[in-house]
Chains A and B, each alone.
Chain A
Amino acid sequence: MLMKSFRKKYPPNFVIGAVITVVMLLLILMSFFYTPYDITKMDSASKLAAPSFRHLMGCDNFGRDIFSRVLKGMENTFVIAFLTVVIGTAGGVLIGAFTGYFGGWLDEVLMRIIDVVFAFPSILLALVFVSIFGTGRYNVVAALGVAFIPSFARIVRSEFIKYREMDYVKSAQLAGVGRLRIIFVHILPNTFTVLMSSIMIGFNNAVLAEAGMSYLGIGVQPPDASLGSMLSESQTYLFSAPWYAVFPGLMIILLVLGFSLLADGIKA
C-alpha cells in the first residue's frame, strides 16, 4: 500500500537518480575531510596494483591509491561545476531579467552580445581564457562561467517576457510597486521551476566541460587530482591497468547520470 503510493508519486527514474546523487554527494562530502590514503603519497611497491581490499580501485603508475584520488577529483569537479553554474546563473538571471522586463534598445544590444557569446563554443572560450591567463582551476571557472551565461539569460528572458504582460504584474505596477521589487520579488520566484531544470542541465554540462579541460591538461593541475587528468594519464597504461581508466570515467558518468535523471523527474 505504502509502496504503491510511493511509486505513484516518484517515478523510478527519479528514485534511481536521487539515490545515485545522494551517494555521490556523500562521497564528495567525505572527501573534504577524509580520504583512505594521502592523494599524493607514492608507493613503488604497489605501482598499477589491481583493485583489492587494500586499494578499492587499485593504484596508478606512481602507486597512488586511485580511490582516494577519484574522491578528491570528484570534489574538484563538483566545486568547479558548482561555481561555474553559480556564475552562469547569476549573470544569466540578471541579464535575462532586465532585458526581458524592460525590452527596448537595452534588450537589443545585450541580446546581440549574448548571441555572439552563444555562437562561440564554450570549450573554445575556455581555451582563449587559458592561453591568456594561464592554466588553473579559477581560470576554468571564470571561462566556463562566462560561457554559461547566455543559455541562462535566454531562458530567464523568455520567462520574463511571458510574465511582464500578466495581470498580476500590471496591477502591481499600478499599485506603485518599484520595478526592482516587481522583477525580483514578484516575477523571479515564478521562473524557479524552469530555472531549476536548466541549472541541473547546466551543472552536467559543466561537469563534462571540466572533465574535458582537465583531460587536455588545462584545468586542475597535478599533483592535485582531477578525473579528467587521471583519464589522460591512464591511457598510457590502458592495456596493463584498464581499471585506472574505468573508475574515474565511471564516476563522471554516475555524477552526470544521477543529476540528469533527477532533472527529468523534476520536470515530469
Chain B
Amino acid sequence: MKYGLKKFVTMLITILCISFLVYLAFDVIPGDAALAALGTDVEPERLAALREEMGLNRPFLERYFDWLLSFVTGDFGTSYKYNLPVADMIVSKLPVTVIMALISFIIMTAVSLPVGIYTAKHSGGRIDRVITVVNQIMMSVPHFFMGIIITYVFGMVFKLFTPGGFVSYETDIAGFLSYIIFPCIAIALPKIAMSVKLLRGSCVGEAKKDYVRTAYSKGNNTNKVLYRHVLKNAMIPVITLWGMMLADMLVGSIVIEQVFNIPGIGRILLTSISYRDYPVVEAIIVLIAFVVVVTNFCVDIIYGIIDPRINVGAE
C-alpha cells in the first residue's frame, strides 16, 4: 500500500512538472494569444488593451495555475487558427489514436507471448534460429517504413484495403476496423520482435537458476516448470517493456497516421505545429504525456503485485 501511495505521489509530481515545463516553454515564445487574434500590424494600444482583457499581463505563475485549473476541468483553451475550443477539436480525434494503440498492443501481446515461449522452449533449434534472424531484421525496420511496405503488399498487390480510404468509426465500425488493422500491424511488428527477443532471453536466463533444478527434481515435467515457475519470473522484465511499449505505440501512431492518412491526434498535432497554433500543440502534448505517465504508474503497480519483493523493499 505504501509502495502504491509513493508511486502515486511521484506520478502527480511528474505530471505537474511536465505541464509546468510545457507551459513555460510555450510562454517564452514571442507572440501570444492577443497578437494571434489581432495580427501583427495592429496599433500597440489595441494590443495592450486586449492583453489586459485576456489577462495576459498577469504574472506567469498566476496564469499557469489558471491554465492548469481549467485544463483539469476539461477546458483546454481556444485554437488560434480555427477559433474553436481545443477540447472539441481533440475529443473527436482521440478515440482513433487510442483505439489504434490498444489494438496494436493486443496484437503484440497475443503474438509475442506464444512465440517467445515457443522459442525459449526450443532454444537452439532450427525454428528458433530462423525466428531470431527474422527478429533481428524486424527490429531494424522503422515502423513507418513497415507501414509503407504493408500499404504496398496488402493494399496494392493483394488489394485487401484501399490505401488512404479511411472510414470513420462513427459511420462504419466494420470498415473502420478492417482499415485500422493494417496500421496496427505496422506498429506492432517491430515491437513483437523486441518482446519475443526479451521474453526468450529472460526465460532462458531463468531456466539456468537453481530453483528450476529443484522444481525438476521434485518430479515436475518441462511444461509445469515452465508455466508455474520460470514464466512467473521471466515475465517481470517483459511487463516493464510492455508498459513502455504502450506509451511508445501511442506516440508512434502519430507517425503511422501520416502513412495511412488517418485523421487522428497526430494529424492535428502536426498541422497545429506548422500553423503555430500553440494552445492546440500545448494541450495535445500535455495530454499525451499525461497518458504516458499514467501508463507508467499502472505498470509500477502491476509490477508490485506480481513481484511482492518490490513492495517490501519500498517499506
Q: Residues on A close to B: CB < 8 A? A: 13, 112-113, 115-116, 119-121, 123-124, 127-128, 130-132, 204, 208, 211-212, 215-218, 228, 231-232, 234-235, 238-239, 242, 245, 249, 252-254, 256-257, 260-261
Contacts and interface: CB of A to CB of B under 8 A. Distances in A.
B136 A212 contact: no
B288 A121 contact: yes
Contacts of B248: 121
Contacts of A232: 258
A-side binding surface: helix, strand, loop or mixed?
Answer: helix
Contacts of B29: 132
Query: Which residue, of B25, B142, B149, B276, has the highest number of chain A Cβ atoms within 10 A?
Result: B142
B95 to A, nearest CB: 20
Contacts of B292: 119-121
B296 interface: yes
Interface in B295-312: 296
Contacts, number: 112
15 contacts: A120-B18, A121-B247, A127-B273, A131-B272, A132-B26, A211-B142, A211-B144, A231-B144, A231-B148, A249-B149, A252-B142, A252-B145, A253-B137, A256-B140, A261-B136
B137 A216 contact: no
A245 B142 contact: no
A119 B156 contact: no
B123 to A, nearest CB: 15
A249 B139 contact: no
Given A119-B18, A218-B273, A245-B152, A131 B142 contact: no
A235 B144 CA distance: 11
A127 B289 contact: no
B112 interface: no
B255 interface: yes
A206 B139 CA distance: 14
A155 B148 CA distance: 35
Query: Which residue, of B22, B137, B140, B252, has the highest number of chain A Cβ atoms within 10 A?
Result: B140
A260 B139 contact: yes
Contacts of B273: 127, 130-131, 218
B177 interface: no
Interface of B: 10, 13-14, 17-18, 21-22, 25-26, 28-29, 136-137, 139-142, 144-145, 148-149, 151-152, 156, 163, 247-248, 251-252, 254-255, 258-259, 269-270, 272-273, 276, 278, 281, 285, 288-289, 292-293, 296
Nearest to B164: A235
B144 A215 contact: yes
Contacts of A120: 18, 289, 292
B270 A128 contact: no
Contact of A245 (B14, B140, B148, B252): B148
A46 B278 CA distance: 43
Given A121-B292, A124-B289, A231 B145 contact: yes
Given A132-B26, A249-B145, A260-B140, A116 B255 contact: no
A239 B153 CA distance: 10
Nearest to B144: A215
B145 A253 contact: yes
B17 A132 contact: no
A253 B289 contact: no
Contacts of A115: 10, 14
Contact of B156 (A132, A216, A239, A249): A239
B18 A212 contact: no
B277 to A, nearest CB: 9
A86 to B, nearest CB: 22
Given A119-B18, A128-B22, A131-B273, A235 B13 contact: no
A131 B278 contact: yes
A146 to B, nearest CB: 12
B144 A124 contact: no
Contacts of A254: 140
A260 B258 CA distance: 27
A124 B251 contact: yes
A152 to B, nearest CB: 17
A253 B281 contact: no
A242 B157 CA distance: 11
A235 B148 contact: yes
B136 A116 contact: no
B148 A124 contact: no
Contacts of B140: 204, 252-254, 256-257, 260
Given A128-B25, A212-B255, A260 B136 contact: yes
